[in-house]
Chains A and B, each alone.
Chain A
Amino acid sequence: KAGVTQTPRYLIKTRGQQVTLSCSPISGHRSVSWYQQTPGQGLQFLFEYFSETQRNKGNFPGRFSGRQFSNSRSEMNVSTLELGDSALYLCASSSDRVGQETQYFGPGTRLLVL
């Protein structure tokens, strides 16, 4: 099976712009989670989608949003970018079946905000 894919892998934006990141989960996985990774804060949970519905949400401002499509692919959007949004954004998918709770991660999108 192909793994989790994320596009683009690298992105450079300027403050005030908005950005959309994409994640394609492992085939058959219906749960997609997003994380922000920075050197100072470590891995922080953004949100989780399951069957096109947001199931969990982390403690991030409303500038961070996401959605999931019927094919389980997910996008996250960050509006009005700030310098502090520079980070590695990781997407993970899981099957959500009992005993298969493992989340598998994509390679990440590295966002640099100038």
Chain B
Amino acid sequence: AQSVAQPEDQVNVAEGNPLTVKCTYSVSGNPYLFWYVQYPNRGLQFLLKYITGDNLVKGSYGFEAEFNKSQTSFHLKKPSALVSDSALYFCAVRPRSGNTPLVFGKGTRLSVIA
């Protein structure tokens, strides 16, 4: 069965510092990998995805994610955090074969402190 783990419920970082939100997955084959962000009382916003190619994927708002096949990880990163980055972040995975639904992690709440 597919699964996604976001080991940290909460990540706190000072404004201007780099941030990392961790994600590991368990799925057969090479999956599609996604990151979404959710602001209060809003739906999920797509940030970036890994399909194939370069292991470092760049997305919206200065975010990037690094795909590591051997560690089955897809950590979200940003070189310099902003207070406005404070939100709930979700990692999601979908196998390439078959029409199977997205599987989401539990989410990580990011707080950026001024």
Contact = CB atoms under 8 A, between A and B. Distances in A.
B101 A102 contact: no
Interface residues of B, number: 22
A107 B44 CA distance: 7
Contact of A56 (B36, B43, B51, B100): B100
Report whether over half of chain A's contact residues are helix, strand or loop; otherwise say mixed: strand
Nearest to A9: B41
Given A42-B104, A90-B43, A102-B34, A55 B49 contact: no
Interface stretch (A13-21, A43-51, A68-76, A77-85): A43-51
Contacts of A56: 99-101
B25 interface: no
A101 B32 contact: yes
Contact of A90 (B44, B51, B105, B107): B44
Q: Which of A35, A102, A110 has the most CB of B within 10 A?
A: A102
Interface in A1-34: 4, 6, 33
Contacts, number: 49
Contact of B107 (A42, A92, A99, A108): A42
Given A42-B106, A42-B107, A43-B104, A105 B99 contact: no
A64 interface: no
11 contacts: A33-B102, A42-B105, A43-B107, A48-B101, A90-B44, A92-B44, A102-B46, A103-B34, A105-B36, A105-B46, A106-B43
Interface of B: 32, 34, 36, 41-46, 49, 51, 90, 94, 99-107
